Amino acid sequence: MEDTTFGPDEPRVEQVLRAFTSFGRVGVAYSGGVDSATLLALAARALGPDRVVAVLGVSPSLAADERSAAHDVAALIGVPVVEVRTHEGDNPAYRLNGPDRCFHCKDELFTRIDDAVVEAHRLDAVAYGENADDAQRPDRPGSRAATEHRVLRPLADAGLDKAAVRRVARVLALPCADKPAAPCLASRIPHFEEVSPEKLAQVESAESGLRALGFVDCRVRHHGDVARVELPPEDIARATEPGTREEVEAVVRASGFRFVAVDLGGIQSGAFTLPLVATTRG
């Protein structure tokens, strides 16, 4: 990878690079989002791409276009992708869909990496892309799974928050540098309503249809017959314009929903989890 200058982020980037240099071969739990892609690129910079493996968990909660994009970004970085089929849907605790759902998902992923990837690819360590902002959030139970599986979190340890990760990604010319966050499809289902392949497929189809209409950043929350569409504030008015409104309704209803509602609150990260976590802590 060509020489780059990271400006004020340089000391933290150097800390991330040093975190890798004591290992021979490293795996990065990888989704194709900006955090894991930046971590993957820095691992390749520290060790060389031939000593790094991107591990992509594949299940019904991963949208097909996200899977394809992840491969494209890894190819640009020059690191091979190993796909691991995960079976979190077989776990009743995951299907129950409590606020700890992400723990069960990450636990399944890290278990599969331990069982199927570490030995086959002679990995000395596995890392994942938690950033410093994520480390402070109460709605990220997946971090507990990382701790239990001794998975490294170099971005968070170095103090790189989301804004810094995006700056580093731009310097590295990663195409996902400004990509909107894309949480797993299960995050669209209210807690304590069962996660099922059918619901995940509905959400994926509806969101894919909206992106085809030009709504790049969107969430379709699954409320039974009702699809609650979240968009950035600047897109809400466009979604309700004559002509476009009918197209939005058509693509969402074609995914199996009877009713389509556009949420005036816009995109809401942690919309289902944060209220429950706050109640529990309070």
**Does the domain formed by 185-273 have CATH 3.30.70.2210?**
yes
Q: Is the pLDDT of residue 2 over 60?
A: no
- pLDDT tens-digit readout, 195-252: 999 999 999 999 999 999 999 999 999 999 999 999 999 999 999 999 999 999 999 9
What pLDDT shows up at residue 1?
A: 42
Q: What are the residues whose beta carbons fall under 8 Å from the beta carbon of 153, sequence distance 6 or more?
A: 127, 128, 129, 130, 135, 143, 146
3-state secondary structure of 13: helix
Containing 29, the helix (H) or strand (E) segment is: strand 26-29
As its CATH architecture, domain 7-171 has 3-Layer(aba) Sandwich (3.40)
- pLDDT tens-digit readout, 34-63: 999 999 999 999 999 999 999 999 999 999
DSSP per-residue string spanning 226-257: EEEEE--HHHHHHHTSTTHHHHHHHHHHTTT-
In whole angstroms, give the CA distance from residue 2 to residue 280.
Answer: 48
Pairing label, strands 125-128, 26-29:
parallel
- pLDDT tens-digit readout, 243-259: 999 999 999 999 999 99
Unique residue bearing structure tokens 């409104």 = 245
Q: How many residues does the chain have?
A: 282
Confidence class for position 275, pLDDT limits 50, 70, 90: low
What pLDDT shows up at residue 116?
A: 82
- pLDDT tens-digit readout, 164-184: 999 999 999 999 999 988 889
Average per-residue pLDDT in the chain? 93
Give how far Cα 126 sits from Cα of 54, 98, 146, 209, Å. Answer: 10, 27, 10, 35
Q: Within 13 A of 179's CA, how many CA atoms are on the CB side?
A: 21
Domain ranges of the chain: 7-171, 185-273
- pLDDT tens-digit readout, 75-118: 999 999 999 999 999 999 999 999 999 999 999 999 999 888 99
| Residue 249: Cβ-neighbour burial (10 angstroms; 0-12, 13-18, 19+) | middle
Confidence class for position 274, pLDDT limits 50, 70, 90: low
Q: What are the residues whose beta carbons fall under 8 Å from the beta carbon of 223, sequence distance 6 or more?
A: 190
Containing 128, the helix (H) or strand (E) segment is: strand 125-128
Q: What does the block give as tokens for 128?
A: 């994942």
Is 180 within 8 Å of 266 (Cβ atoms)?
no
Give how far Cα 162 sits from Cα of 35, 180, 196, Å. Answer: 8, 11, 31
Give how far Cα 9 sits from Cα of 2, 14, 15, 36, Å. Answer: 17, 9, 10, 17
